[in-house]
Chains A and B, each alone.
Chain A
């Protein structure tokens, strides 16, 4: 039997005066960890707010955990843990009050796990929400979310504004959470290092459009930077899968999204070096390639 997709978006459009999220389609399978990467203003938060039902699409269909969104968002959110870097705890309360509040709403609340997270994140239940730093706010929100063990985690730039130590603590906790095969995560960030660390599938978004979506390993295997030295008077023929070409005299640098032994064989002994690309380099090259293709 096919399992219900945790997130399913088809042809979603959302228009604002100066921004349009256009024809967005996205699938998140159970147990999958999807890194959702885009520059600031690319449409990551808009997509996440659509998935949470906080805004309604102008066109297209959204289903989360099998529920139609935004209509059945109440039922869907029972199994969604949502944390955003923009989110804050309620004022005039303490972390302990929030723990009590969340545990009274979610019967799945795991009190021992919550206590363990409080210790690991160095939080104090008596601490007032007003005096928490950005890092403490995020850690408290993550503790409140993780301790109720949701099936789907939607994280909107959760490591934004965290110092390196806090970021490490949070990312380590994510790695632990990932051991649960039935839980899926949509992790939005412009920090490709974090995304590369935890994701098994990656979607790139730019200026309101999904520009690429694939398995992380596939991205890392397909994309290469190839340095060539061409003999005088020889020009490169048209090659498939070359997204950029920088020529400097007899030296050329090709960026490809279709690296294979076949391509290497075609280039022959002109190849001087082949470099693997980081996710950040792949993202940037991908974005520029698509902007060029769209004439932007």
Chain B
């Protein structure tokens, strides 16, 4: 990674500092709310999911789409870097901007499940899988946003990835290998859980790699 790419990654962290702080803060607050009894758990869980989705949407909108729209991308592209360097810096920078609060929120959620007596530890695999799914969801959105120029296509991707979370929760939560152990006293990492995790990690790798193969090779970047 050259110096300009490193500087641009740092720039993403600086420019999006309030999103990072806000995302981490909202994640922790949601978990605190979730610790407040049965109703609190439902409200807090919704807040937690919303906070992570909103963070991803804001980063994609402000980090890529607005930079393009507000023409500050021209300033960045005037620096001594290639289109591939730009895509690399954008992908790494924004992934890091998401990863930090995502990690804080995910760890907080897992700690809550393990530490709170009335929340069954059997929820740990589901919480981990959902967290990893949220990361994959963001990277797919970011990959798509970097690839297309149209605002309409980006909006469509935001709607679809949002809907994807609900569908994921419903479908994955209903898998017998997971559902059977959700309310159990100990976390069960069976083949179903591992398979879902591996698929999610595969999507992450793919979403992270595709921009280097597609967006970075675009002949016309603006």
Which residues of A are at the interface with B, using a C-beta cutoff of 8 A? Answer: 49, 52-56, 70, 73-75, 77-78, 80-84, 86-93, 97, 101, 104-105, 141, 145
Question: B74 contacts A89, CB within 8 Å?
Answer: no
If A90-B75, A101-B11 touch, does A74 touch B81 (CB 8 Å cutoff)? Answer: yes
Partner of B77, one of A54, A88, A93: A54
Q: Chain A interface secondary structure, helix, strand, loop or mixed?
A: mixed
Question: A82 contacts B78, CB within 8 Å?
Answer: yes
Partner of A91, one of B3, B70, B79: B70
Question: A77 contacts B80, CB within 8 Å?
Answer: yes
If A54-B221, A56-B219, A74-B81 touch, does A90 touch B7 (CB 8 Å cutoff)? Answer: no
Question: A55 contacts B80, CB within 8 Å?
Answer: no
Question: A55 contacts B220, CB within 8 Å?
Answer: yes
User: What is the bound-complex CA distance between A44 and B137, given in angstroms?
Assistant: 41
Query: With a CB–CB cut-off of 8 A, which chain A residues contact B213?
Result: none
User: What is the bound-complex CA distance between A49 and B70, given in angstroms?
Assistant: 17
Question: B79 contacts A77, CB within 8 Å?
Answer: yes
Question: B75 contacts A87, CB within 8 Å?
Answer: yes
B72 at the interface (CB under 8 A from A): yes
State which residues 1-36 of B face A: CB under 8 Å.
3-4, 7, 11, 14-18
Query: With a CB–CB cut-off of 8 A, which chain A residues contact B74?
Result: 54, 82, 84, 86-88
Which residues of B are at the interface with A, using a C-beta cutoff of 8 A? Answer: 3-4, 7, 11, 14-18, 62, 66-67, 70-72, 74-83, 85, 219-222
Given A55-B219, A87-B71, 16 new contacts (CB under 8 A): A53-B83, A54-B220, A55-B221, A70-B82, A73-B83, A77-B80, A77-B81, A78-B80, A80-B78, A83-B78, A86-B74, A88-B75, A90-B75, A92-B16, A93-B14, A105-B7
Query: With a CB–CB cut-off of 8 A, which chain A residues contact B14?
Result: 93, 97
Question: A90 contacts B71, CB within 8 Å?
Answer: no
User: What is the bound-complex CA distance between A77 and B83, given in angstroms?
Assistant: 12
